[in-house]
Amino acid sequence: MRSDVVEGHRDRVAVAREAGWGRLSLPSLIAGTMVAYGTFIVLLALVSGLVARFGSGHTKLSANDWRNIGTGAGIGVAVLLFLSYLFGAYVAGRMARRSGLFNGLFVFILGVVIVGAVAAVVGS
């Protein structure tokens, strides 16, 4: 075997197809989604603790303050979800090894589907 030959992405994909593996890896999707949810919980706890310590201790909660707090909290949660899904997608992509971007994208889709299903069950 020659030492100057390097295995490329196409070689790994061909070997995976010959082994019968598809592009989508269910274990990496589940792990990535669980990592995303866990990351979200940890980040939310950290940010909530910081806001409680340094944040809005002096506000009077009139109708206008509730609207501002709700908007700020919504933006903050959206940023935390985005960061969490990025981290979960990275984990799924690294675990899948053959189609990282494809598996990372499906982490977001699976996460939204799970949240939608839970919301439908709770709402009914």
The helix (run of H) or strand (run of E) holding residue 19 is none
pLDDT at position 88:
94
Residue 33 · residue 110 · CB < 8 Å: yes
pLDDT at position 63:
58
Alpha helices, DSSP H, located in 2-99 = 9-18, 26-54, 63-96
Tokens of 79: 């940023």
Residue 107 · residue 29 · CB < 8 Å: yes
Domain ranges of the chain: 25-123
pLDDT at position 60:
59
pLDDT at position 61:
55
Q: What is the mean pLDDT of the chain?
A: 82
Per-residue model confidence as pLDDT tens digits over 26-83? 889 999 999 999 999 999 999 888 887 887 655 555 556 666 677 778 888 899 999 9
